Chain A
Amino acid sequence: MFNIFKIALRNLARYKRRTFLTASLITVGVVFVLVFIAVTGSFKYMMIGQITDSFVGHLQIHKKGYLASIDNLPLTLNLNPKALKKVEKAISETAGIEAWSKRIKFGGMFSNFVETTNIRLNGVNPDDEINTVPLLFSRIKEGDKTIRKGEILVPELIAKGMKVTVGDMVVVIATNKDGSVNGKQFKIGGIVESATGPGGRDGYMHIKDAMEVLRMEKMDVSEIALRLSDFNALHEVHDKIKGMLSKALNKAGKPAFEVHTWEKLSPFFNIARMIDVMTFFIKIMLIAIVLVSIMNVMIMAVYERIREIGTIAAIGTMPEKILSMFLFEGFCLGVFGVLTGVILNSGVLYVLNRVGLTFDFGRQKGLILSPTIDLSDVWVISAIVIVVSVVASLQPAYKASKMEPIDALRHV
């Protein structure tokens, strides 16, 4: 084995320029793919983090049918205290949940005493909410970073349109689930920045204020947002809690609750999937580059060494050894390309992180990317390139091994 390896390396060194060019092509391909994965991956995870940590949470639990009607924010599909108890029990029995927050979501009218507009609001317990979506307070552009009783956090677009600012008094009017209308005066405690996705332009108030506006005697909750201690366990926790809650049936004999991951709740998931599809096609391109370049160079190598193949075959070298000599050459080219590619990629990522890539997404401006790459991605790309290098060498190597020595020796 070592001797075949040695001969393969010497044959590669024999055609220095060709080896260098082919390995360079592979290197460029590897660098391109790894940098692409690092940049798009960091963009994807940054955006997922922004969405889940700003307002969505990792998981949400609703009464069955709520999500389909979420645009109307129906109070009739809230979880009553009995249902809430079942959910709380399921949460307490599920491992891996770091925090959770009850929300009363409702639509209402927002008046500055001069003009009136409609508004979507979340009544939350500030401590629970900040533990569940820790970036919420960082979205408060003006005012104190908290939610006090008697105060309201107004979405920036409404604040701008209604020409209100922190400290102003406003009135929120809402219809409760019995159909009666109630209003309450609030002081604007802060202006909250918009975030991309549904719920990203909602206002916030204390959950007790929401109960007061909606004249709730007992707390009927629209949704429960959950934060996991390990985001990678998302589907595992989802399945577990869903399984536990599926035992609770409604009057129609169907599950009384629905549990959704952020993927079902945010349209960004489709963008994330598109990034995965693009990454897949970039990998296909890399495979094509490696396949064509290695196959080309190995076909040339076989063609140029026909008499040598004839000589070693005449001496008695078995076909499988001739085959492995050429396979090793392809393998070595792949390994060389991968090694230099991975090293260069580290350099490129270092430079990108030093320079600081900024981008805008929706209304979020100046997001800074910090491209990093998982070791698993490096291993996968390296394995793909090396395997494809060997596969690309297979046809020329097979041809060499099947060559009749007498024909090969006659070759001029």
Chain B
Amino acid sequence: MSLVTAKGVSKTYLTGDIKVEALKGLSFEIEPASFVSFVGPSGSGKTTILNLIGCLDKPTKGTLTVGGTDISHLKRRTAASFRGENIGFIFQDFNLLPVLTVFENVEYPLLMVQNVPSDERKKRVMNLLSAVGMIEQKGKYPDQISGGQKQRVAVARALVTEPKLILADEPTANLDHKTAYMVIDIMKKMKNESGTTFIFSTHDQKIVGEVEVIYVLEDGELVDRQVKGGKGNV
């Protein structure tokens, strides 16, 4: 059974009086424990499809299911709850909370969203900080660590709730070559260990080279689907 299923998903924005069709009838399926990327030029709809899958936005037309739940029409609170339970986010700008330490940033979703007991919380946070190589920096604040370290913390924060799905919007855009590879390696390792599905939106060839499935978007349409080791049309 697919983890993500999109059927005829469209998204139209109104910019003033002008209608902008960001996505035009997208249909695709993403399997569990896969490493998938949406690629395409700016304005092709990569971030829009990630926002729809992440329950941050609703499609104008079509249906979208994640883990068997139709998320096309979720109400605000239900969507928040669904995100907290099932989806992790990695942002281009890391989006760590500046007033929390590295440890506290990773702990935040367990504490404020899932209400996980203290011992369990500590164990999970420490395991992940160890896995991303940030255990030494756990007491530091985000402004005391580098960009690559911030993104490793962000990866740990996304994984700590053990979500089915992690959405990463341009996760390596603000990282240098070496750091970007390190972060990609960590994500890949986590995917293999935990079976979490990673969906990226990216221009970055480093990620494109590592993913298993690539969806190519152009002007809001899905124009190609490439599977590692072969190329197949949508």
Task: Give chain A's interface residues, CB within 8 Å of chain B.
Answer: 3-4, 7, 10-11, 13-14, 307-308, 310-319, 321, 404-406, 409
Contact = CB atoms under 8 A, between A and B. Distances in A.
Contact of A316 (B57, B95, B99, B113): B113
Nearest to A8: B99
B97 A308 contact: yes
A319 B77 contact: yes
Given A7-B100, A308-B97, A409-B91, A315 B56 contact: no
A314 B83 contact: yes
B89 A10 contact: no
B108 interface: yes
B81 A14 contact: no
A314 B100 contact: no
A318 B80 contact: yes
B219 interface: no
Interface of B: 51, 54, 56-57, 76-77, 80-85, 87, 89, 91, 93, 95, 97-100, 108-109, 111-114, 157, 161
Contacts of A307: 93, 95
Contacts of A405: 56
Given A316-B161, A318-B81, 4 more contacts: A315-B84, A316-B83, A319-B76, A406-B51
Contact of B112 (A3, A14, A319): A3
A319 B81 CA distance: 10
A314 B113 contact: no
B76 A315 contact: no
24 contacts: A3-B111, A7-B100, A10-B99, A10-B100, A11-B99, A310-B95, A311-B95, A311-B97, A312-B97, A314-B54, A315-B83, A315-B84, A315-B109, A315-B113, A316-B82, A316-B114, A317-B112, A319-B76, A319-B80, A404-B56, A406-B56, A406-B57, A409-B91, A409-B95
A219 to B, nearest CB: 82
A321 B54 contact: no
A316 B100 CA distance: 17
A321 B77 CA distance: 12
A10 B108 CA distance: 15
A312 B108 contact: yes
Contacts, number: 68
A317 B80 contact: yes
A14 B99 contact: yes
Interface of chain A: mostly helix, strand, loop or mixed: helix
Nearest to A405: B56
A316 B56 contact: no
Given A14-B99, A308-B97, A311-B97, A316 B85 contact: yes
B198 to A, nearest CB: 16
B56 A409 contact: yes
A317 B56 contact: no
A316 B111 contact: no
A406 to B, nearest CB: 4
Contact of B80 (A3, A310, A313, A406): A313
A21 B85 CA distance: 41
Contacts of B56: 314, 404-406, 409
Contacts of A406: 51, 56-57
Most buried by B among A3, A11, A310, A404: A3
Contacts of B100: 7, 10
A406 B52 CA distance: 10
Contacts of A14: 98-99
Nearest to A14: B99
A317 B95 CA distance: 15
A3 B118 CA distance: 12
Contacts of B89: 311, 314-315
A321 B112 contact: yes
Nearest to A9: B99
Given A316-B80, A317-B112, A405-B56, A311 B99 contact: no
A321 B80 CA distance: 12
Contacts of A321: 112
Contacts of A315: 83-84, 89, 108-109, 113, 157
